[in-house]
Amino acid sequence: PVFDGDALKSAKVVAKGLPASPGAATGQVVFHADEAEDWVADGKKVVLVRIETSPEDLAGMNVAEGILTARGGMTSHAAVVARGMGKCCVSGAGSVKINYKERTILADGITFKEGDWISLNGTTGEVYEGQIATKEAELSGDFGELMKLADKTARLSVRTNADTPHDSKVAREFGAVGIGLCRTEHMFFGEGKIQAMREMILAENEQGRRKALEKLLPIQREDFEGIFEAMHDLPVTVRLLDPPLHEFVPHDDKGQQEMADLMGITLKEVKEKVEDLSEFNPMLGHRGCRLGNTYPEISEMQARAIIEAALNLKKKGVNAHPEIMIPLTGTLAEMKMQEEIVRNTAEKVFEETGDRIDYLVGTMIEIPRAALTADEIAQSAEFFSFGTNDLTQMTFGYSRDDAGKFLPVYLKKNILKVDPFQALDQTGVGQLVKMAVKKGRKTRKNIKLGICGEHGGEPTSVEFCHRVGLNYVSCSPFRVPIARLAAAQAVARKKAEKAAKKAAKKGKKASKKK
């Protein structure tokens, strides 16, 4: 939805953050995800207000009209998830002071209590006092024809980042030709799933972890079946578990007590485990392929769930094309170890079922070292998907969740021309992408190359991807039409540049003759 123009004229702006996910939202302030669910169940409209969001807030984010966070940039958890859901989101509103204990927000000298109405403009990043009327955005009848023309012109194909059958269907309706990123960690936060995940985390040995993973296997398999079915005949890139394990455990006393009661252990034991999982810099810590190589049974379970799901659907006449993606690879040895786990598991499933499917194993290129040694990694990886959110973070040395504190100043003072988390930095990060493309193709000529960071839906970044020769871009479902149009514009611009050069060359020859 968008705001009604007349209603917006009299609205009071109380804060401004980043336009993390477009659209308009109006609702009553709630501070916790579980309470958002309760309020919505009672027929209320809510805006979820958090200092920052984490995966355990997913259910509340899903039911909220919009999301407001005090911290976080354009690629923060709130921003990425909201775009995937098609939810309005304003992130990094640093002037907003959130007090969970008092259940209040202080913005522009005004105190908002839980239950008070606020409105968000995800297109401008503005936060308004009170309730503002909204209306559905309108598309002209020419939209479909324009998209058909764009697809005929474009060389790049456009996939989507989707973690649920619903998001997959929405993206397909918008013209996505596959999934470029399916984040498996989001699947673990559904009802009845998080407990099994926490049992696995709390297990003291491999035997205990495998016992918990046996409970997770059918759940994951069912999730994959839903997504593969929604994407019948189209490729689906599934990223194995990426975040650090501390994201799956509660960090507040109430949540930890509930976890202790469910697990039949003491609160002290839960607190000790949570403390043990904490890291000084978790985004560079025990996550991604490092988790999979430390606890190979996790990768085994996920690979089995993917392959079994594809085989189950094959019996029903649904063609699944899984591409299994290893996250956070930095060395060939890391990649090889994970590839071996995936392929050995797949072969076991093929033997057990007496049937086979085709699948690919590849990796995300999100660590600078992976880009620099892409020729080595391509010995094992059948595809690269550039995770430009983390690649930007690690190349600049900017925390994407904290950069909101200084990026507005950098942009205002012209230290940076654009926010590198919104538009791909072509002279720095882009050169790593370009290098990895060249090195990867040198080793493996037919390597499939794509991008799955949020840059995949930004027009200047899409044009860059076209120029360096990627096969596809992948973005949030609601950005798919923008990416399709940008892919066509990249071709048209290239043709125009060639024509201009040709004309200039002819002009020079003509002037020489005179």
Q: What's the confidence (pLDDT) of residue 56?
A: 85
At 492-513, the pLDDT tens digits run: 999 998 888 888 887 777 777 6
Q: What's the confidence (pLDDT) of residue 414?
A: 97
pTM for this model (two decimals) = 0.85
Residues of the chain with CATH 3.50.30.10: 2-135
Contacts of 469 (CB under 8 A, 6+ apart): 437, 441, 449
Q: How many residues does the chain have?
A: 514
CA torsion 394→396→398→401, rounded to 10°?
-60
Q: Which two tokens stand for residue 205?
A: 């040995």
Over the chain, what is the mean pLDDT? 94
At 44-92, the pLDDT tens digits run: 999 999 999 998 899 999 999 999 999 999 989 999 999 988 899 999 9
- For the chain, report the end-to-end CA distance as a whole number of angstroms: 62
Q: What's the confidence (pLDDT) of residue 1?
A: 84
What DSSP element (H or E) covers 58? helix 58-63
Topology, domain 2-135: Glucose Oxidase; domain 1 (3.50.30)
Strand ranges, E, within 270-354: 321-326
In the three-class reduction of DSSP (H, G, I as helix; E, B as strand; rest coil), residue 243 is classed as coil
At 30-45, the pLDDT tens digits run: 999 999 999 999 999 9
Q: Catalytic amino acids? A: 77, 452
How far apart CA 307 and CA 149 sit, in angstroms, is 36
CB 164, CB 143: distance < 8 Å: no
What's the whole-number mean pLDDT along residues 168-194? 90
Question: pLDDT confidence of 140, banded at 50, 70, 90?
Answer: low
Continuous H helices in 327-479: 332-353, 368-372, 374-377, 388-396, 407-412, 429-443, 459-468
How far apart CA 257 and CA 272 sit, in angstroms, is 13
How far apart CA 62 and CA 48 sit, in angstroms, is 10
Residue type, 304: R
Question: pLDDT confidence of 141, banded at 50, 70, 90?
Answer: low
% of the chain surpassing 90 pLDDT: 82
- May I ask the CATH class of domain 143-244+279-496? alpha beta
Buried b (16+ CB within 10 A) or exposed e, 324-360: bbbbbbbebebbbbbbebbeebbeebeeeeeeebebe
Q: What's the confidence (pLDDT) of residue 504?
A: 82
In the three-class reduction of DSSP (H, G, I as helix; E, B as strand; rest coil), residue 238 is classed as strand
Instruction: Please compute Rg for the chain using Cα positions.
Output: 24
At 270-302, the pLDDT tens digits run: 999 999 999 999 989 999 999 999 999 999 999
Q: What's the confidence (pLDDT) of residue 488?
A: 97
Q: What's the confidence (pLDDT) of residue 16?
A: 95
Question: pLDDT confidence of 514, banded at 50, 70, 90?
Answer: low
Q: What's the confidence (pLDDT) of residue 96?
A: 96
Residues of the chain with CATH 3.20.20.60: 143-244+279-496
How far apart CA 309 and CA 316 sit, in angstroms, is 11
